[in-house]
């Protein structure tokens, strides 16, 4: 359809040549023509032109014979479209469609919304998505002028250029409008994908986050990071999951059949492997996956779990090999507070008095304690957040002498300022959609309908059509989960780096909107089958489908699915959601207790079955924070999980996570903790962003008689009417002793 629209326009001007045969000037001229026609008033005509532009963004595929060619022309056409100003025209049209009250009211009245209700919106969002996604991918082969266009576009997207707000803020408002029920026809999947890619492009992904973090630490004169976490996680190995009781019985029967005479050791964690865990383990690369007979049994019971969910290893140059300290992947960390607590408890134990937060006086303490303190100080880690909190306290204490705060107007700062007024509504809306898209959700009558942009007008009539629609609906939901999980994680990470209280504000609203139980509910399913779900039809994927002849789709071929063993999309979503849960609960006692209260341990333990190192790491982190509250029996029966935590998660030197002797005797008061945090956040937000309520006490006073009397004061109307009465009462009837007054 897009191709036909393009060819009608194109043939009218260039009857005898192909698009790929024209030169740059002709390409540009035709693109400008299309852009001009996008301004027409007639809706039908506008849609046809938009489709022609979409065909260009899809790489004018009719004239290409390979996928690489399609991708080459996509990139070429998209830079051309961007250069002539297509994106701002699309934003204006999108705004117009968003405010199209006729479409909204007809959609609200319809009993069933289908694809037909959102055609115009979908075409516009498609072009915008293709543009953002193609341009955000950095290609070293790009021309220098393209590189300049790319950087300019990145800055424009993140700044309030298009209708006075960053593009992400406009998309967020579409999400809330959809969730409030005023615009049920909005194609949510496309909006969320565009929102995710816009945030990713304007703020940067994990690699950029890492470099911003390094730069900020340098600016604050903090020691460099002990390691690059991205690279450490990349080189981690997955551990085999703890076997369930039925598997153990099965294994015992098989062993008996084999008459295994030798001593049988407990089914070990792969990474342990007979070796001493404290030795630097450099032979990791050549270990085979079936290290010993015991594990090959497991291979028979779980054909899937034996394959680590890992891409083929990328051959790293030797310099890039991460050297592991003593078999543990992470350097241990200690907080200033931990050193203070340790010293205080040692002082009260050995000397009988305390010194407050003095971490240097060690008089009267025995020698081993001196050494402990030395070790703790060696591993002391000061985070950027701690410094930001201290600075904020100073600003609050000394609003006048503290001087003006120098706020760096980065893309993150601009986005925060844009979404600050309605941030709670945005978070609730995202979580509502996430709930509706989660595979564990039952279709309730009150939940929102997220399938508006996947259900056709005519419901399927044949088995094949309904199977295809089934796959499509599931794929659709998976993509929505993927986009929301990525949006939330990216925002949390960027806000945390930009200012800790921006992060806390967003995190707190997620917690208030029940994000913690929602994510646990999401994981309370068969995660193994979610990660191996085959909800895609690879022959229909773009650009494969436009270059190759489509084979005949049959119910059998759909049933068989493609031959990918894992669904990367779902693995990505799971890891993101686990990381969000970690971000929300880290160092927050009351939120950690929520994990315990919602019985997250068995849910998380089941998630360990997925043999992918990164996913296991974040599950183990979540188990580590609550281990001491799960009781001795749990720890006893989960020793394998305990040793996995010991091996894979960073150690906090005097953190008693495994035994729970100190068992945080303090009762956990969720409300008190959250209220204290909320007060800090509100003080920060009003100090930095609320210019109207600045304290009148601190405003400069005008002492000049001329200017004070010269100011025009608007008096209320009733005063003007009763002016004579006021004069009589306040002036004439009061005796004034002028002599005294003048003295």
Write the DSSP string, 71-134: HHHHHHHHHHHHHTTHHHHHHHHHHHHHT-HHHHHHHHH-SS--GGGGHHHHHHHHHHHHHHHH
Q: Which tokens hold the place of 211?
A: 């470099």
Q: Tell me: the pLDDT tens digits for 384-436?
A: 999 999 999 999 998 877 777 889 999 999 999 999 999 999 999 999 999 99
Structure-token match 């209700």, residue found? 117
- What is the model's pLDDT at position 130? 97
Q: Are 168 and 418 in contact (CB under 8 A)?
A: yes
- What is the model's pLDDT at position 288? 35
Q: Which tokens hold the place of 715?
A: 């008096």
pLDDT above 80 (res 348): yes
The mean predicted confidence, pLDDT, of the chain is 85
Q: Tell me: the pLDDT tens digits for 662-702?
A: 555 567 788 899 999 999 999 999 999 987 766 666 666 77
Domain locations in the chain as residue ranges: 1-206, 336-379, 425-675
- What is the model's pLDDT at position 307? 44
pLDDT mean over 623-639:
92
Q: Which tokens hold the place of 14?
A: 């260039």
Q: Tell me: the pLDDT tens digits for 82-101?
A: 999 999 999 999 999 998 88
Please calculate the CA angle 356-357-362 and round it to the nearest 5 degrees: 90
pLDDT mean over 579-606:
95
Q: Tell me: the pLDDT tens digits for 455-467?
A: 998 888 999 999 9
Alpha-carbon distances, residue 120 vs 475, 677, 679 (angstroms): 22, 44, 45
- What is the model's pLDDT at position 270? 40
Q: Are 495 and 506 in contact (CB under 8 A)?
A: yes
pLDDT above 90 (res 163): no
pLDDT mean over 238-265:
61
List all residues 6 or more positions away from 256 whose beta carbon is below 8 Å from its beta carbon. Answer: none
- What is the model's pLDDT at position 264? 39
CA distance 575 to 565: 18
Rg of the chain over all Cα atoms, to the nearest angstrom: 32
CA nearest neighbour of 294 among 335, 243, 345: 243
pLDDT mean over 502-528:
97
pLDDT mean over 270-293:
36
What's the predicted TM-score (pTM) here? Answer: 0.84
pLDDT above 90 (res 592): yes
Q: Tell me: the pLDDT tens digits for 176-203?
A: 999 998 999 999 999 999 999 999 999 9
pLDDT above 90 (res 739): no
pLDDT mean over 348-357:
83
Helix (H, G, I), strand (E, B) or coil at 238: coil
Q: What percent of the chain has pLDDT over 90?
A: 57
Neighbouring-strand partners of residue 333? 652
- What is the model's pLDDT at position 704? 80
- What is the model's pLDDT at position 497? 96
DSSP 359-397: -S--TT--HHHHHHHHHHHHTB---HHHHHHHHHHHHHH
SS3 string of 637-693?
HCHHHHHHHHHHCCCECCCCCCCCCCCCCCCCCHHHHHHHHHHHHHHHHHHHHCCCC
CA nearest neighbour of 122 among 431, 363, 418, 452: 452
CA distance 592 to 76: 50
Who has greater pLDDT, 125 or 405? 125
pLDDT above 60 (res 280): no
- What is the model's pLDDT at position 319? 44
């Amino acid at each position: 359809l897009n191709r036909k629209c393009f060819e009608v326009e194109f043939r009218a001007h260039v009857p005898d040549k192909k698009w790929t045969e024209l030169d740059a000037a002709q390409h540009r001229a035709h693109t400008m023509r299309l852009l001009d026609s996008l301004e027409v008033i007639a809706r039908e005509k506008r849609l046809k032109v938009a489709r022609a532009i979409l065909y260009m963004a899809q790489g004018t595929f009719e004239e290409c014979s390979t996928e690489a060619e399609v991708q080459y022309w996509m990139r070429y056409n998209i830079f051309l479209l961007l250069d002539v100003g297509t994106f701002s025209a699309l934003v204006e049209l999108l705004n117009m469609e968003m405010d199209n009250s006729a479409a909204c009211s007809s959609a609200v009245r319809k009993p069933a919304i289908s694809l037909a209700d959102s055609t115009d919106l979908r075409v516009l969002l498609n072009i915008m998505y293709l543009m953002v996604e193609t341009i955000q991918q950095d290609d070293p082969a790009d021309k220098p002028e393209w590189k300049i266009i790319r950087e300019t576009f990145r800055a424009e997207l993140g700044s309030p250029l298009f209708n006075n707000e960053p593009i992400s803020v406009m998309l967020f408002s579409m999400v809330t409008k959809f969730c409030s029920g005023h615009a049920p026809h909005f194609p949510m999947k496309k909006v969320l994908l565009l929102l995710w890619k816009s945030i990713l492009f304007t703020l940067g992904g994990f690699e950029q986050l890492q470099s911003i973090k390094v730069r900020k630490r340098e600016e604050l004169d903090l020691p460099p990071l002990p390691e690059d976490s991205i690279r450490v996680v990349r080189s981690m190995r997955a551990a085999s999951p703890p076997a369930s009781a039925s598997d153990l019985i099965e294994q015992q029967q098989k062993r008996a059949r084999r008459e295994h005479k030798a001593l049988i050791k407990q089914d070990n964690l792969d990474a342990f492997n007979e070796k001493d865990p404290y030795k630097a383990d450099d032979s990791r690369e050549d270990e085979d996956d079936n290290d010993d007979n015991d594990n090959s049994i497991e291979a028979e019971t779980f054909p899937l779990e034996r394959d680590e969910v890992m891409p083929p290893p990328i051959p790293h140059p030797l310099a890039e090999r991460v050297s592991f300290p003593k078999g543990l992947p992470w350097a241990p960390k200690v907080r200033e507070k931990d050193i203070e607590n340790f010293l205080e408890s040692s002082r009260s134990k050995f000397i009988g008095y305390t010194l407050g937060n003095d971490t240097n006086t060690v008089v009267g303490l025995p020698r081993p304690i001196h050494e402990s303190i030395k070790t703790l100080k060696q591993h002391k880690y000061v985070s950027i957040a701690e410094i930001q909190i201290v600075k904020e306290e100073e600003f609050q204490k000394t609003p006048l002498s503290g001087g003006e705060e120098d706020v760096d107007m980065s893309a993150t700062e601009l986005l925060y300022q844009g979404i600050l007024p309605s941030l709670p509504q945005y978070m609730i809306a995202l979580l509502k959609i996430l709930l509706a898209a989660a595979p564990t959700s039952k279709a309730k009558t009150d939940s929102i309908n997220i399938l508006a942009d996947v259900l056709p007008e005519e419901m399927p009539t044949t088995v094949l059509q309904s199977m295809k629609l089934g796959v499509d609906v599931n794929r659709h939901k998976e993509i929505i989960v993927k986009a929301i999980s990525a949006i939330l994680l990216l925002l949390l990470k960027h806000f945390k780096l930009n200012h800790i209280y921006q992060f806390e504000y967003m995190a707190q609203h997620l917690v208030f909107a029940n994000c913690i139980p929602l994510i646990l509910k999401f994981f309370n399913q068969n995660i193994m089958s979610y990660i191996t779900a085959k909800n895609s039809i690879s022959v229909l994927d773009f650009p494969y489908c436009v270059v190759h002849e489509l084979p005949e789709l049959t119910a059998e071929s759909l049933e068989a699915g493609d031959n990918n063993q894992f669904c990367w999309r779902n693995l990505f979503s799971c890891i993101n959601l686990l990381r969000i849960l970690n971000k929300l609960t880290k160092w927050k006692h009351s939120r950690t207790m929520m994990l315990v209260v919602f019985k997250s341990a068995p849910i998380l333990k089941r998630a360990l079955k997925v043999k992918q190192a990164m996913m296991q790491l974040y599950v183990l982190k979540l188990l580590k924070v609550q281990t001491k509250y799960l009781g001795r029996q749990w720890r006893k029966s989960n020793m394998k999980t305990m040793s996995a935590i010991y091996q894979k998660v960073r150690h906090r030197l005097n953190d008693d996570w495994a035994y729970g002797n100190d068992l945080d005797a303090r009762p956990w008061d969720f409300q008190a903790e959250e209220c204290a945090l909320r007060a800090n956040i509100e003080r920060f937000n009003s100090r930095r962003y609320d210019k109207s309520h600045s304290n009148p006490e601190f405003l400069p006073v005008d002492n000049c008689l001329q200017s004070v009397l010269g100011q025009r004061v608007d008096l209320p109307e009733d005063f003007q009417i009763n002016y004579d009465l006021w004069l009589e009462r306040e002036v004439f009837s009061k005796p004034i002793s002028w002599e005294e007054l003048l003295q």
